[in-house]
């Protein structure tokens, strides 16, 4: 499970559906084809009683994973509840979360197997977004802008990414945090 998804699940389990929904919406804006995110967003919308938006999220999910019974049930449920003729109070079903756990597990484990010729070629990283840009160049720019906290954060990321030079990067981060500068 990706860290983002873990975070969203954590919000949901804590009952903070609002937070989960806005977090997931962000994620979907970045990765519109992330099926798990759509499923969780649908859950969050249900928990908030926003049945129309839940219905929309389930539809997106069905579009991406047309075979999942859990998603299909969700779609039906949201369609029923979203119907203004029914006056039932909105209440997520009991087994929803356990079902969801297994669905997430299966979605996350369903990796697309690359074609053999594609596997033999190095391919650019596509998932990393903003952290791609963590580089020594950026760190020194932040330093020259006197944004030492930002610079230190970049060095931390670099230390994680290049274990060989981790000690040097961490030393720089510490120096920056303690407020010393080169001059």
Residues that bind another protein (CB under 8 A): 29-33, 112, 114-115, 117-118, 121-130, 132-133, 135, 137-138, 141, 144-146
Cα–Cα distance for residue pair 34/116, rounded to 1 Å: 24
Spell out where the chain has E strands: none
Least distance to another protein, CB of residue 100, Å: 24
Q: Would you say 14 or 132 has its CB closer to another protein?
A: 132
Q: Would you say 6 or 145 has its CB closer to another protein?
A: 145
Least distance to another protein, CB of residue 157, Å: 12
Least distance to another protein, CB of residue 6, Å: 20
Least distance to another protein, CB of residue 147, Å: 8
Q: Which two tokens stand for residue 35?
A: 């099926």
Q: Would you say 31 or 97 has its CB closer to another protein?
A: 31
Coil, helix or strand for 79? helix
Q: Would you say 47 or 154 has its CB closer to another protein?
A: 154
Burial class of residue 157 (count of CB atoms within 10 Å of its CB; 0-12, 13-18, 19+):
middle
Q: Would you say 14 or 26 has its CB closer to another protein?
A: 26
Q: Which two tokens stand for residue 114?
A: 């690359």
Cα–Cα distance for residue pair 101/98, rounded to 1 Å: 5
Question: Residues 114, 119, 123, 127: is their CA dihedral positive or negative?
Answer: positive
Least distance to another protein, CB of residue 113, Å: 11
């Amino acid at each position: 499970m990706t860290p983002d998804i873990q975070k969203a699940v954590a919000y949901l389990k804590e009952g903070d559906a609002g937070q989960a929904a806005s977090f997931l919406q962000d994620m979907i804006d970045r990765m519109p084809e992330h099926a798990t995110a759509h499923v969780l967003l649908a859950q969050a919308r249900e928990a908030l009683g926003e049945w129309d938006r839940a219905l929309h999220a389930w539809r997106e999910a069905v579009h991406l994973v047309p075979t999942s019974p859990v998603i299909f049930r969700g779609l039906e449920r949201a369609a029923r509840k979203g119907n203004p003729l029914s006056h039932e109070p909105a209440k997520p079903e009991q087994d929803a979360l356990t079902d969801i756990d297994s669905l997430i597990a299966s979605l996350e484990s369903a990796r697309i197997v690359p074609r053999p010729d594609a596997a033999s070629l190095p391919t650019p990283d596509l998932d990393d977004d903003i952290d791609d840009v963590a580089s020594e160049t950026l760190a020194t720019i932040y330093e020259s802008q006197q944004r030492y906290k930002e610079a230190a954060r970049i060095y931390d990321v670099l230390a994680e990414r290049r274990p060989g030079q981790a000690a040097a990067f961490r030393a720089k981060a510490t120096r920056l945090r303690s407020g010393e500068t080169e001059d």
